[in-house]
Amino acid sequence: MKNVSETLSCLLLQIDLLWQQPDQNLVRIASKIADTKNVDLIVLPELFSTGFCFDTHLAETMTGRTVKWMEKMAAQTGAHLMGSIMIKENANVYNRMLLVSPNKTIQYYDKKHLFAYSGENRFFTSGNEIKIFDINGWKIKPIICYDLRFPVAIRNVEDYDLLVCVANWPDKRVSAWDTLLKARAIENQCYALGVNRIGKDENQLNYIGHSITIDPLGNALTEISEKEALLKTTLFKKEITQTRDRFPFLNDRDLFSIN
């Protein structure tokens, strides 16, 4: 039987991203996390190597420099590394969330709901699979930014433990970010972890972070910051079990299929 860890130690990196400068972004991020110890999961923002741009010439392959960098950092820190980058496969480009383990095992999810409001759907291909990642027996639901607005695809029919959302979510709509993350945790009786960037991009969009970890009852476990920050928290399996045993609301969830 596979061993299941009773705890999951997480580190959220809230950072400014340099526009279309992958090498510099990787150097800056490495400087923040290189000395990390005793952490199971490090989470980076959406499109952490480029910022939220549609310059698909920057897209890489699964054997490219950023994936290799993630493998290196995971091995160096002993933590799983998670974040999204542009990945090109055949004629398609995906906004792909990667989970890279210290032993170089890779799990991935392609963003399902592309942000048509900004034109993302004209440059990227939508993912068509619902994925659940695994870390030490913890079942993790990965979503990317705009996905957060679509609760049907996020509905906890897999009994997952943790929802992880990485984002470039502008300050003008940050109240929606705060509210939706909390709602997703409560309705799915899971931990919810959201990592958003800070700073201003070349589209003159301003980002103020509000990265956070929320428990299955909707309580914040990390303080809200609008500056660069490393936010560390430890999650407990028993908190999920106790919440679901005390309030067995998931037993009454609706059955549905996603087309």
* 53-89 pLDDT, tens digit each: 999 999 999 999 999 999 999 999 999 999 999 999 9
Give residue 205's pLDDT band: very low, low, confident or very high (50, 70, 90).
Answer: very high
Q: Write down the pLDDT at residue 1.
A: 45
Task: Calculate mean pLDDT across residues 238-246.
Answer: 98
Which of 163, 255, 148 has its CA nearest to residue 214?
163
Q: Write down the pLDDT at residue 258.
A: 82
Active-site residue, 172 included: no
Q: Are 138 and 161 in contact (CB under 8 A)?
A: yes
Tell me whether residue 221 is exposed, middle or buried, using C-beta atoms within 10 angstroms of its C-beta: 0 to 12, 13 to 18, 19 or more: middle
Residue 38 pLDDT more than 80? yes
Task: Calculate mean pLDDT across residues 216-235.
Answer: 97
- Which of the following is catalytic: 111, 112, 141, 182? 111
**In terms of pTM, does the model score above 0.85?**
yes
Active-site residue, 139 included: no
Residue 158 pLDDT more than 90? yes
In the chain, % of residues over pLDDT 70: 99
Domain range annotation of the chain: 9-251
Residue 147 pLDDT more than 60? yes
Q: Write down the pLDDT at residue 2.
A: 63
- Which of the following is catalytic: 10, 46, 120, 141? 46
Active-site residue, 111 included: yes
Domain topology for 9-251: Nitrilase/N-carbamoyl-D-aminoacid amidohydrolase (3.60.110)
Residue 207 pLDDT more than 80? yes
- Which of the following is catalytic: 10, 141, 145, 182? 145
